A and B are shown apart, each in its own frame.
Chain A
Amino acid sequence: MAMRALVGCKRVIDYAVKVRVKPDKTGVVIDGVKHSMNPFDEIAVEEAVRMKEKKLVSEIVAVSCGPAQCQETLRTAMAMGADKAIHVEIPAKEFELVQPIHIAKILAKLATDVKADVVILGKQAIDDDCNQTAQMTAAFLDWPQAVFAAKIEKDGDSLAVTREIDGGTETIKVNVPAVISADLRLNEPRYATLPNIMKAKKKPMEKKTAKDLGVDLTPRIQVISVEDPPVREAGQKVDDVDQLITKLKGLGRI
């Protein structure tokens, strides 16, 4: 089959880190906070590498949009098995207001430029939980989409993708080129081995800007405030059902 895969990797605050809101409520604390590759994107990279091992894919291009530190994320992708990387540099301040629609336009342009046959993304990012980029990218490219993939198999010249849906799973046949988004059960990502980590340092990384790709990053939203969720109040203990009913009535709940 020998496809070329474009894999998106977003650099997000690591999921093991406790997120704190900035005192001025304009956002969360990012300075000095550990970032890493979005877990669903790790799954996407892993799947691309497995497809390469199965000879379904011949080349993997990893892409990440954001500030300079995204290069670390791309090195991780290459250590896992991506062949080359593209860093679309967006300064940190600007990146805060970038939305899936902007990223989707960038990915669509890149997919055409590198002649990708399949675009594999994580289903959503753990910082915004949007779950929109894959779908929008497919729309811009006018390609079929298979989102929430739990299994990807070859089916003649197409792909058979098993998707997670509300009732269980659904298997669809998708013509290539296509956009796929990775769900949790697709695979368990590997840890990059030392030899591969060292090899990754020598793999090629291209730098581009949104302007190079003709994408306008003008913000379409404005952040009004970012706040902590309300602190959970302590519960009250009651001795028996009668007391419970009295209390509920007192609170006007029944």
Chain B
Amino acid sequence: MISFRSFVVRPSSKLLFFPKHVPRQYGKSVFSKTSAYYEQISSNPIRMASTTSTRMMGSSMPESRKRAKRGEYSQLESDDISHFSNLLGKHRVITNESEIEGYNVDWLRAIKGQSRLVLRPKNTNEVSKIMTYCYERNLAVVPQGGNTGIAGGGIAVHDEIVISTSLMNQIVDVDEWSGILVCQSGCVLETLNEHLSQYDLIVPLDLGAKESCQLGGNVSTNAGGLRVLRYGSLHSSVVGCEVVLADGTILDCMNTMKKDNTGYHLKHLFIGSEGTLGIVTKVAIQCPPKPKAVNLAFVGINNFQNVLETFRLAKRDLGEVLSACEYLDQETLSAVFENLQLKSPIESSFPFYMMIETSGSNGKHDEEKLSMFLEKAMSKEFVADGTIASQPSHIKNIWNIRERFPEALLKDGHLTVYDFSIPLESFNEMVEETRSHLGPLAKRVTGFGHLGDGNLHLNVTMEEFNPATLAKAEPFVYNYVAQRKGSISSEHGLGSIKRDYIYHSKSPQAVSYMRELKRLLDPKGILNPYKVIPNK
């Protein structure tokens, strides 16, 4: 029974074409409600726009976003489900469609997967047994952590089995002297922070998704976040990991020492390979001491040149206490007022704003440093106005504004986020050029990002999804980045939607060696297929 609602409907209420190439071998009628090509559209107009699967809009979609052709993997059979139920118990094997739905949609509600089975192992052994079986049976899998990624890396493209690490949430050990934390990969970041606070330690990364994201997923994507400027990337803070390979082998790269130069550093292969080389099951990570004093300045700036000057001055005058440096433009803040009704920390509006955070062991020292820096920045007229927060509640409120940017922009209707590393001087130019290039095709084009790391988040919003907008934006934005020898994905990874652009930032030789490594570690290609490395 097809309900009218199971087709995507444009506001003119014209039915879209029914793609003739929808294959019938899924064992289910394509008219069934849960056929992945068609969304269940609720009557909420915002959801209607944002849940439009970007995959089914036909030929006007950029190639990179179309669903890849299904690989030659086996089909899931009831024997497989019985096997897993015997292994994990029936409560940790999910086949119910409505329960699976959450695992099949990404956070931006732009990508919908077609998985029909979710497994929830509790420990490394179970993961190993699952993979051994899947390898034998030639069943494709997709590892999934907190499902907070926005490149589609954790969502099944076809019917890959979702292996969720959510139940692998045990903290194994915290060494109070070295500060090294060992835990399973399903631990939620914020939970780790809470546990570590009794040792006066913190996790070295901080992202808006911290109350949902899991450490394994963070490691697999080499997540960046707000504090890379201060604590470095996961390549420097992860000291060891345990990984399950495609054939079920448990690869022990665990190490709890800060320094270890014995042989090739295999663990780095798994940091950032987005679950395509192995499933991270345990992590050992170096945790820094919890700062005793945190201060946050939110300042308004009149032009982009002054943003750069302020940043340079901050690096010089705040030095070792500088722990975060973010920038945003007026359009981003407008989205926050309009869509989330959050107040700006400063009254007047400016074309640009910055958030500069200091963390240190002496509050008085840091506050003085920050005040002096701000006085200097104001007297040199780099900064026009601003506020300093030292109260944790105020700091939390101001960071909250930053962490909710994607949410605010998503409420415009549909949001596409680009994540680029480009020279600092080009940040604003890129935003403005993209805005004029897209013209009326976009509702809002905004820029914000980790200025301290040279990482721009370029955002394009639309009131309702329009493939023409994406087609015009890509490859324009990717070409712009490639011309400046930048990275087309700074921290979000390639996932499923950006892998075709890998050549914009990596040489063909490099990519071919990546393929060799993948072949070595996953000869059958069952581990998170259709991701990261493009088809030849």
Contact = CB atoms under 8 A, between A and B. Distances in A.
A17 B393 CA distance: 8
A34 B197 CA distance: 14
A34 B391 CA distance: 7
Contacts of A198: 371, 375
Given A16-B393, A34-B392, A193 B292 contact: no
B393 A194 contact: no
Contacts of A18: 194, 197
Contacts of B385: 193-195
Contacts of A197: 371, 387-388
B103 to A, nearest CB: 22
A191 B298 CA distance: 10
B90 interface: no
B387 A193 contact: yes
B347 A15 contact: no
B70 interface: no
Given A16-B393, A18-B197, A190 B388 contact: no
A65 interface: no
B378 interface: yes
Contacts of B298: 191
Interface residues of B, number: 27
Contacts of A193: 346-347, 385-387
A215 B292 CA distance: 36
A205 interface: no
B436 to A, nearest CB: 34
A37 B391 contact: yes
B389 A191 contact: yes
B393 A15 contact: yes
Contacts of A37: 391
Q: Which of B346, B391, B392, B398 gathers most chain A CB within 10 Å?
A: B391
Nearest to B374: A194
A39 B394 contact: no
Interface residues of A, number: 20
A32 B292 CA distance: 8
Interface string B367-410: 00001001100100001011111111111101000000000000
Given A18-B197, A32-B292, A198-B375, A191 B392 contact: no
Contact of A36 (B383, B388, B391, B398): B391
A231 to B, nearest CB: 15
Contact of A194 (B347, B378, B392): B378
Nearest to A36: B391
Nearest to B200: A32
A188 B396 CA distance: 16
A117 interface: no
Nearest to B292: A32
A230 B292 CA distance: 29
Nearest to A198: B375
B385 to A, nearest CB: 6
A35 to B, nearest CB: 8
B346 A191 contact: yes
B265 interface: no
Contacts of A76: 391
B506 interface: no
Interface string A25-41: 00000001010110100
Q: Which of A17, A76, A192, A194 gathers most chain B CB within 10 Å?
A: A194
A18 B292 CA distance: 14
A83 interface: no
A143 B383 CA distance: 47
A251 B250 CA distance: 46
B378 A191 contact: no
A51 to B, nearest CB: 18
Interface in A8-30: 14-18
B343 interface: yes
Nearest to A201: B371
Interface in A176-212: 188, 190-195, 197-198
Contacts of A194: 299, 374, 378, 383, 385-388
B345 interface: yes
B514 to A, nearest CB: 43
Q: Which of B197, B299, B390, B393 gathers most chain A CB within 10 Å?
A: B393
B343 A188 contact: yes
Nearest to B385: A193
B389 A14 contact: no
A197 B389 CA distance: 11
A16 B387 contact: no
A190 B393 contact: no
Interface of B: 194, 197, 292, 298-299, 343, 345-347, 371, 374-375, 378, 383, 385-396, 398
19 contacts: A15-B393, A16-B391, A16-B393, A18-B197, A32-B292, A36-B391, A191-B387, A191-B398, A193-B346, A193-B347, A193-B386, A194-B299, A194-B374, A194-B378, A194-B385, A194-B388, A197-B387, A197-B388, A198-B371
Given A16-B391, A195-B385, 5 more contacts: A18-B197, A39-B393, A191-B345, A191-B398, A194-B383
Nearest first, the 8 closest Cβ-Cβ pairs linking A and B are A36-B391, A191-B387, A16-B392, A14-B392, A191-B345, A16-B393, A16-B396, A194-B386
